[in-house]
């Protein structure tokens, strides 16, 4: 079973898939609705994951797809589209819980929470004539992502709820869980310790980088699900909230949140380490200009730390850039793979512990395998050039004399990628 990293994205689908989208819009405009939706599900399906299935018979389509721990079921006939997924079960309902559902219903655009017997569901329905593929895409995305997230949050907040049947979860080997738990704790302890060594006022920026890098690295490399994933997301949201709190206060709050994660029982952490299939990415597709902007807004901060012998913080900033982009944006696959390679270079001990043989950097000798790095980059560019013909990255511009020099040259080359848009 291959080990995977990072969150699923459906951004920048290949040409064969976008052709299905063009086809489904054309057929819908021609009022050939069943053929249009047949093409729609062909567009939605990720052939590598087999995450979507559907059956078309006469004037009826039944379908289902995976989103994390949730399976969405639906049907389409000549008049109506319906889709729903289980959220939780209950024995009795509280006023606080009903208020929460009403508030969430108010915030939804296409879907709504509903009850049937002792079950809670998230539902969508529409007339076929009103069910343009673009509307259907965003409606199913809202249904899938909200359901996958809210079941864990509601179960945590309301004790009278019980989990609905969970489908689509693939347990990872116990050894892999143990390794991830070990690094989960080690990374938090190391980052909190290093942050505590720095002056809270004059080094508030460095402390922010340390803790945010920890957050995004954990999200990408350990890829927790369920409650633990939500805990990480909340830390990010709180830090970037426009609440006029000084950065020193935000840093203290982040440190406290990470200390709480260290207090989580081991069993609770292991419980949230599993694999799932998804159909929709959480982050919206983002052009490369957003990556360029993220690099530009952070790259200037590196020089001071290098000049003042804080090279460890400089490396953290480069790593933060990769993690922030992976967490926040729906990236083109070459960019994802290039940032993934960056992690394999900066965190070789983690990948080695997982039994991954490729080794790009020896931390003891502080030496790169230059040829292996260049070969992997060229492989990524070659794969990406099928979809993005103008894509290039000049490996001759990379500097291998130190980690800081390599990362500075590498991030610059990523910044200069040409996707032809």
Using one digit for the tens of pLDDT, what is the confidence trace for 277-315?
Answer: 999 999 999 999 999 999 999 998 999 999 999 999 999
Does residue 85 sit in the same domain as residue 211? no
| Cβ neighbour number for residue 241 with a 10 Å cutoff | 10
The residue segments making up the domain with residue 89 are 15-163
Highest-confidence segment of 118-127, 145-154, 337-346: 337-346
Does residue 176 sit in the same domain as residue 158? no
Least confident of 83-92, 183-192, 216-225, 411-420: 83-92
Q: Is residue 2 part of a domain?
A: no
Of 163, 191, 218, the domain-final residue: 163
Does residue 205 sit in the same domain as residue 281? yes
Q: Is residue 395 part of a domain?
A: yes
Helix (H, G, I), strand (E, B) or coil at 32: coil
Does residue 68 sit in the same domain as residue 181? no
Average pLDDT over residues 55-64: 94
Does residue 246 sit in the same domain as residue 393? yes
Of 163, 189, 212, the domain-final residue: 163
pLDDT > 90? residue 109? yes
Which has the closest alpha carbon to 68: 7, 109, 123?
A: 7
Beta bridge partners of 169: 276
Q: Is residue 250 part of a domain?
A: yes
Q: Is residue 10 part of a domain?
A: no
| Cβ neighbour number for residue 29 with a 10 Å cutoff | 11
Of 163, 189, 215, the domain-final residue: 163
Q: Is residue 4 part of a domain?
A: no
Does residue 269 sit in the same domain as residue 288? yes
**Residue 169 — very low, low, confident or very high, per pLDDT cuts 50/70/90?**
confident
- Total tally of structural domains belonging to the chain: 2
The pTM of the full predicted model, rounded to 2 decimals, is: 0.93
Does residue 235 sit in the same domain as residue 331? yes
Does residue 217 sit in the same domain as residue 101? no
8 A C-beta contact, residue 93 and residue 160: yes
Q: Is residue 390 part of a domain?
A: yes
Does residue 267 sit in the same domain as residue 153? no
Does residue 140 sit in the same domain as residue 280? no
Rounded-to-integer distance, Cα 53 and Cα 29, Å: 24
Q: Is residue 3 part of a domain?
A: no
pLDDT > 80? residue 421? no
Q: What is the mean pLDDT of the chain?
A: 93
Which residues, 6 or more positions from 138, have their beta carbon under 8 angstroms from its beta carbon? 109, 110
* Higher local confidence (pLDDT), 420 or 307: 307
CA dihedral for 61, 48, 166, 135, sign (positive or negative): negative
Rounded-to-integer distance, Cα 58 and Cα 36, Å: 13
pLDDT > 70? residue 161? yes
CATH number at residue 39: 3.30.1460.10
Rounded-to-integer distance, Cα 241 and Cα 301, Å: 21
Average pLDDT over residues 43-52: 93
Does residue 122 sit in the same domain as residue 265? no
Does residue 151 sit in the same domain as residue 177? no
């Amino acid at each position: 079973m291959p080990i995977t990293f990072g969150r699923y994205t459906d951004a920048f689908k290949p040409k064969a898939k976008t052709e299905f989208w063009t086809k489904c819009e054309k057929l819908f405009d021609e009022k050939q609705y069943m053929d249009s939706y047949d093409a729609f599900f062909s567009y939605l399906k990720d052939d590598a994951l087999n995450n979507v299935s559907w059956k078309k018979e006469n004037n009826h389509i039944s379908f289902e797809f995976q989103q994390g721990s949730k399976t969405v079921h639906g049907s389409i006939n000549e008049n109506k589209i319906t889709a729903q997924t289980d959220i939780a079960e209950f024995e009795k309902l509280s006023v606080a819980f009903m208020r929460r559902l009403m508030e969430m219903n108010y915030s939804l655009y296409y879907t709504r929470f509903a009850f049937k017997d002792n079950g809670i569901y998230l539902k969508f329905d529409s007339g076929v004539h009103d069910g343009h593929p673009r509307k259907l895409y965003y409606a199913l995305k809202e249904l899938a992502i909200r359901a996958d997230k809210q079941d864990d949050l509601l179960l945590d907040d309301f004790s009278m709820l019980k989990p609905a049947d969970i489908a689509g979860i693939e347990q990872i080997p116990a050894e892999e869980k143990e390794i991830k738990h070990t690094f989960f704790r080690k990374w938090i302890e190391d980052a909190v310790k290093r942050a505590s060594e720095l002056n809270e006022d004059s080094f508030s920026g460095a402390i922010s980088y340390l803790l945010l890098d920890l957050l995004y690295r954990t999200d990408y490399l350990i890829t927790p699900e369920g409650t633990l994933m939500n805990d990480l997301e909340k830390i990010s949201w709180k830090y970037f909230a426009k609440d006029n709190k000084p950065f020193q206060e935000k840093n203290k709050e982040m440190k406290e949140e990470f200390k709480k994660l260290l207090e989580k029982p081991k069993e609770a952490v292991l419980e949230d380490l599993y694999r799932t299939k998804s159909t929709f990415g959480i982050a919206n597709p983002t052009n490369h200009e957003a990556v360029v902007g993220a690099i530009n807004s952070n790259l200037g901060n590196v020089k001071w730390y290098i000049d003042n012998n804080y090279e460890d913080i400089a490396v953290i900033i480069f790593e933060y850039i990769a993690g922030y982009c992976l967490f926040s944006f729906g990236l083109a696959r070459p960019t994802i793979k290039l940032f993934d390679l960056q992690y394999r270079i900066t965190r070789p001990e983690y990948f080695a512990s997982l039994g991954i043989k490729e080794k790009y950097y020896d931390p003891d000798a502080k030496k790169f395998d230059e040829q292996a790095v260049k070969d992997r980059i060229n492989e990524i560019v070659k794969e990406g050039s099928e979809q993005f013909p103008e894509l290039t990255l000049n490996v001759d511009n990379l500097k291998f004399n130190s980690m800081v020099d390599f990362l500075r040259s590498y991030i610059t080359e990523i910044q200069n990628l040409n996707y032809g848009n």
